Amino acid sequence: MIRFFNNAIIRSTLVSQYFDRDESIYTWIGDDLTRTLEIIANHYIGENPPVPFVYRTISKRGFLQLNDGRYDLNLQAKLTDAKSGQWAYAYGMLWSESEKSYELAISSYSPSNIFLNGKLIYRALLAHETNPQTSKLVTAQVRKGWNGFFVKMQKTPAGFGCVVGTSHKRAFPLHFYSPFVERLGQAGWIYSQLVDQDVYPEDKFPGIGDSAQATGLAWFPEMTWEATASNKNACGRIFGVQPGKTAYAWSQIEITAPSKLQLVTAGATKIWIDGKQVWEGSAGKFDLDLPMSCGRHDILGATISASDDWGFSIAGAEFHLPYPVKGIGDAWLYLGPFDAPLACSPAEIQTIQNLFDNQGALVYWRVDMPDTWVRPYLENENFAKWNYQIGVTLYGLLRTARLLGRKDVIDYVVRHVNECAKTYAYSLYDRDEYGTQSINHQLVEMSCLDDCGSFGATTLEAYKECPSSEIRVVVDTIADYILNQQVRTPDGAFYRVHTMWIDDLYMSTPFLGRYYKLTGEGAYINDAARQFLLFKKYLYLPEQKIMSHIYDFGYNMATGIPWGRGNGWCLFSLSEILEMLPNDHPDRPALLDFFRELCEGYLALQGEHGLWHQVLNEPDAYEETSCTAMFTYAFARGVRFGWLKEPDKYVDAVHKGWKGLTQISVDRLGNVHGVCRGSNYAFTSDYYKYELLWRTNDTHGIGIVMLAGVETIKLREWLTAQ
């Protein structure tokens, strides 16, 4: 009998249903695999539309991030005339899509109190102030929408300020934005002038949407130019006068009728509209006729610095930002300085994604504010994000789209991959400029297999659909990391210094196999094949023919816990490598035997409803979706490719597994339930059963379920053909 449960009672009973059975997709459309896949894919894309990065202005006069992702609110370096006992304040905002908690790591140079939405969450103790190298972990419970972080800091002879930010920048990067209406859209913390007495009691703080002027304090970094700079043209203010150097200004002009513009230049200038040069001249005042169609048009100016000023101004029309950039009141973006004009077309300059080279120095877009640049931020929950679980989600979408002939879904996946690949060079520059990158967090880090292999494998699939030099740079970088830089045991197995995780077979081998297919270089497929045999040596549990989740080198033993998804990663990946491995490869017989052994072990543990359990050999553990999908996927492939010796029982398991997924895990709207969240590890199964609980629409499971459906369809087609 199907029983109904929720997370509150998961400890005491088996979870067999995550929602009312009448809401299952099976109840609504039955065994229609094609429609099931369409509904899941459409739901995911509907919840994660292809919204690109958000571009904001950021002042380099503000607080930058450290390499660990935290913000260094060191007022000692900003308010150099501060006296002991004086106070100053810092203020930042954090956006959250939902109510959740973040773990912050905080260090103090001096007495510091941090308030979240008006409530105290941190007060520096004596031990913190006297040892700023240590950090305290603090849980920040945020609400949906904007959250204000107000910091009160007092100067002492030893220091002034604190360091605050995420405790885990790879998985949970946090970027703060500027409060107050005058700074709407700007990125970064702001800080106040010095005060002799604390002017903010702990029950009264300015609101994040208030006016800075109403506080009665001056706030930094500065948003306006000093009087001497204000008298110059924009390029003279931004870059300083640099005779002979070139800079560019980009905007959009709106034409409502044939127009005549008034152009004032400080030096040699060229103007292009929609890529066509419409004017060239030297310093002076000029009229410029625009006999073009109504609408908005890109306008680009190239200007060379004179000895006393630099730039140009145009009046007589309405101008708009050429790309949405938040935190700016102007309509122009600026690029430079360059020793010589760029050897490229206006269209190649008019892009927000690219860096530009000036004699080896990288140049990016700025705005007409003191030391203020344009900077992209990843503010989507999923789209344009690079991490391993989204990598497998996109792979599921791509395989589904190919099977169903959905070019729109293929385009969605390629667009996601391209958002990451085309900004990879920028994100490396961003890390160097700001301390921590604002996009492509894990791709830039690339310090473990999680950071690169899963999404890298999907990137290679996207490369088949839309080859590009940017994607090739990314996959070449990943291949070099895995083959030559990833830490290994003395016998060559991938590991994480103290532990070996079965997950890493998925985080590495599917990429290695695909890279071998791309390049023909045997070292990559050889390494992939060898990893399975090495991992078997450490993690295989021969009595049940399944795998331990972890090998702990500190204890020199496997944990012995057969976590469901970890085993799923193993079998899923082995099926992919067997497909790519040459028939005459020396490791193929051993890998085929291993695949058959594992399939036999997993088959024996399939639950009565068709699903496998979170801990495979403990029937009181909850039934888990992602491992079920991966075993279903691999069994279907094992039958279809002729790898399994008794195919009939595996065909039955595939049908039982898919039916269980559609009856228990997927609802009629395409939500995927019962997916275990990202794991740590333990030597006891209680952690996996009672702490490592399931979530709805966790990206560890959505793509895997689609892949199981794809392979179930392929198996049925193959059986029909047979």
Residue 127: is its pLDDT beyond 80?
no
Q: Is the pTM of this model over 0.75?
A: yes
All CATH 1.50.10.10 domain ranges of the chain, comma separated, are 7-48+381-714
pLDDT at 288: 87
- The whole-angstrom separation of Cα 173 and Cα 380 is 13
CATH of domain 55-220: 2.60.120
All CATH 2.60.120 domain ranges of the chain, comma separated, are 55-220, 227-377
pLDDT single digits (tens) 300-329 = 999 999 989 999 999 999 999 999 999 999
* Fold type of domain 227-377: Jelly Rolls (2.60.120)
pLDDT at 16: 59
**What's the per-residue H, E or C state across 197-214?**
CCCCCCCCCCCCCCCCHH
Instruction: With residue 652 as reference, give the H or E element that holds it.
Output: helix 647-660
pLDDT at 5: 33
Q: What is the mean pLDDT of the chain?
A: 95
pLDDT at 203: 79
Asked whether the CA dihedral 507, 513, 518, 521 is positive or negative, the reply is positive
Residue 498: is its pLDDT beyond 80?
yes
pLDDT single digits (tens) 615-639 = 999 999 999 999 999 999 999 999 9
CA 339 to chain centre: 35
* Burial track 250-264 (b if 16+ CB lie within 10 A, e otherwise): bbbbebeeebebebe
pLDDT at 290: 78
Residue 14: is its pLDDT beyond 50?
no
| Rg value, the chain, Cα | 29
Residue 3: is its pLDDT beyond 70?
no
Residue 524: is its pLDDT beyond 50?
yes
pLDDT at 12: 32
pLDDT at 291: 67
Least confident interval from 251-260, 491-500, 526-535: 251-260
* Structural contact between residues 189 and 61, judged by C-beta atoms closer than 8 angstroms: no
Least confident interval from 27-41, 291-305, 445-459, 516-530: 291-305
Residue 351: is its pLDDT beyond 90?
yes
Across 439-538, the runs of DSSP E, i.e. the strands, are 499-501
Instruction: Express as a percent the part of the chain with pLDDT over 70.
Output: 97
Residue 200: is its pLDDT beyond 90?
yes
Q: What tokens were used for 704? A: 């895997």
Q: Amino acid identity of 338?
A: F
Residue 441: is its pLDDT beyond 60?
yes
- The whole-angstrom separation of Cα 708 and Cα 37 is 10
- The whole-angstrom separation of Cα 322 and Cα 193 is 35
Which residues face 139 on adjacent strands? Answer: 103
pLDDT single digits (tens) 366-414 = 999 999 999 999 999 999 999 999 999 999 999 999 999 999 999 999 9
- The whole-angstrom separation of Cα 425 and Cα 421 is 8
pLDDT single digits (tens) 541-586 = 999 999 999 999 999 999 999 999 999 999 999 999 999 999 999 9
Instruction: Express as a percent the part of the chain with pLDDT over 90.
Output: 92
The residue-averaged pLDDT of 403-431 equals: 98
Which residues face 114 on adjacent strands? Answer: 122, 151
Q: What tokens were used for 260? A: 């005549």
CA–CA–CA angle 97, 100, 101 (5° rounding): 130
pLDDT single digits (tens) 578-609 = 999 999 999 999 999 999 999 999 999 999 99
Q: What confidence tier does 125 reach under pLDDT thresholds 50, 70, 90? A: confident
The residue-averaged pLDDT of 650-679 equals: 98
Q: What confidence tier does 289 reach under pLDDT thresholds 50, 70, 90? A: confident
Least confident interval from 53-57, 314-318, 475-479, 664-668: 314-318
Q: Please choose, from the candidates 638, 683, 672, the residue with its C-alpha nearest in 3D space to the C-alpha of residue 40.
A: 672
Q: Please choose, from the candidates 418, 477, 434, 429, the residue with its C-alpha nearest in 3D space to the C-alpha of residue 453.
A: 477
Q: Which CATH class is domain 7-48+381-714?
A: mainly alpha
How would you classify residue 168: left for phi > 0, otherwise alpha for psi between -120 and 50, otherwise beta? beta
More confident residue, 470 or 16: 470
Residues 6+ apart with CB under 8 A from 164: 70, 71, 73, 104, 105, 106, 114, 149, 151
Q: What tokens were used for 667? A: 């609802």
The residue-averaged pLDDT of 122-150 equals: 89
